[in-house]
A and B are shown apart, each in its own frame.
Chain A
Amino acid sequence: MIGAVDRGDTGRSHSVEAAVPWVGRGHVLDLDDFSHQELESVFNTADRMREILARPVPRVPSLRGRSVVNLFYEPSTRTRVSFELAAKSLGADVVNVSASGSSVEKGETLLDTVRTLRALGANVLVVRHKESGAPYTIAKQMDIPVVNAGDGTHAHPTQALLDAYTIRDHFGCIEGLRVLIVGDIAHSRVARSDAWGLTALGADVVFCGPPNLLPATALKDDGECMPWPVRVDFDLDHAIENVDVVMPLRVQLERQEGNRLASLREYARDFGITRARLARAASRAIVMHPGPMNEGVEIDADVAHGGQSVVQQQVTNGVAIRMAVLYLVVAAAAQNSNGHKTPLVPAPGLSGKVPV
């Protein structure tokens, strides 16, 4: 451990072998290149953040003087508020920019908008965009951390982190758990990022939905072509047998171009999570939902608010996870600008990553 000498202000010297296994990741765009260890380090950091949120004054001064800009090109309540509370709990200033009512309506390009925000003093950009890959384009142009808050049908890494964190919280360990994700997988950035994160953590993930709402790669050779080791099942009553986690996805009516969905009633009949269906899952099973829920379509109200539902815990954990992500990206960016050897992971390209 040469050179691993910590000279903190107490003049102690201890090896820093226990340093965070965070590889200097200055952006969080998807979970596709996260290792098991890195995910654990996010969860451990989130554990500490959750303790802060339980204090009488749920705020630390870590990001004081820094500005976090939420740039949202798509409507969102929970994700934006969650990021806003997370940034404020770390002491940051928060600016919310939405596409409507901003100069985007006057025809300003995405990159011009982010350059302007950077020039105005933004220190972290949280981006949601309807186009898959938009945060990658921004990250390549920016010298400040970019966090993807959902891009098109591609990725939603902080949602996947909070999902995995909630599962870990409930079961203690994710390895070997059976996780069933039901619904419109083809349009779901949540399902994609969940698949990366949960399979990296050793879960046994099953996608279930009508064939026309599953990614094309899922239909070929029983899903062998998908980038994750995920099984595919078209029959919910079969797929739900003995699973530990049931996660229905929202039927995204705004993304149903070309009438892929025949009728909501038919969907609810075949793929809605009802109490009777849930009884076929493991008795210890939990129900999750990324929200917002269409009660009576993909999930029945009594399941959504029943004893097995952890939907509210997901929302609460989301703030802690986003605090952890904001802390880690800012610290990694600072580490890099301080001239440390660990380079920032360059913004990866999108090539081959979108299995549509």
Chain B
Amino acid sequence: MKPTASDTMSQIQPQADNGPLTKVSKPFPWHIVFFLGPALLIYVAISVYPLLDTLRLGLFSEDETGAKFFVGLQNYSNLLLNEFWSEPFWNALKNNLIFFAIHMALQNPIGLLLAMLLSSPKLRLSGTYRTLIFMPTMLSVVIIGFVWQLLLSPLWGISEDFMYNIGLGNYFDAWLGKESTALITLSLISVWQFVGIPMMLIYAALLNIPEDLTDAAVVDGAKSRHVFWHIKLPLLLPTISMVSILTFVANFNAFELIYAVKGALAGPNFSTDIMGTLFYRTFFGFQLQQGSPTMGAAVATLMFLIILIGVMVYLFFVQRRIQRFQL
């Protein structure tokens, strides 16, 4: 799996010297409509159109009767310049970046490590480990959120007892409740849950490395360290960068975990507020604050841009460099 820019391009090139090409040019190609129609129809109606409509809606505002009127870029200038909007926005963006950074720093390296270990030759029980470690990934984020909330609850004291038993009792704290630790704790919970995905993808990529390649190197007297750094890692880079961009998109789209554990107000003092919870709160309102679909659309549009920029950066810099590296 390597969705590179050039791949996307080549994927679109029809096979030049293929039979059906001449066929197609004759009568109306009903079969293309048949094959492409359903997917295109649903995708455009339920995904493309709403996304475009959201961009449009971001340019409107509502009065108290719910009537919409055009306001140009005012929602955006509010969001970015009015301190009561911009502060939450930048705060959510910052928190989201931290959330992402923790995933990059832990989830993917741990996934890589586990994948390397799992692919050690002739490892017994490899299948069992794989199955069990992947288990949390199968469970709903909401349920995971509740589970960890109970485990970390000072009222229940499971973690506290546990830490006393390993002699770290004094380090126990109400991590989920403190401004300084809540976001990190939630990120770690998320890492714990999703480590299975990079593990599995990298594991699969490792299986795909031809054995003669590594064997040859070993015969040549290369140490396993060298085999890793100079043979395996370069071959894994496309997968790892793919995993990274998937992580990026997933993290900037996250909502469930924070909502389940901290609620839509993402406390304390918005220290766990990320783009997803900000979007929800803006769109639907919270407690005495009224929701605003138009302002929500503006937030969604900015999220759209952030993800787009991230993906562009990935495609133009990271992906390109990796390809050169491979050559």
A and B interact: no
Residues on B close to A: CB < 8 A?
none
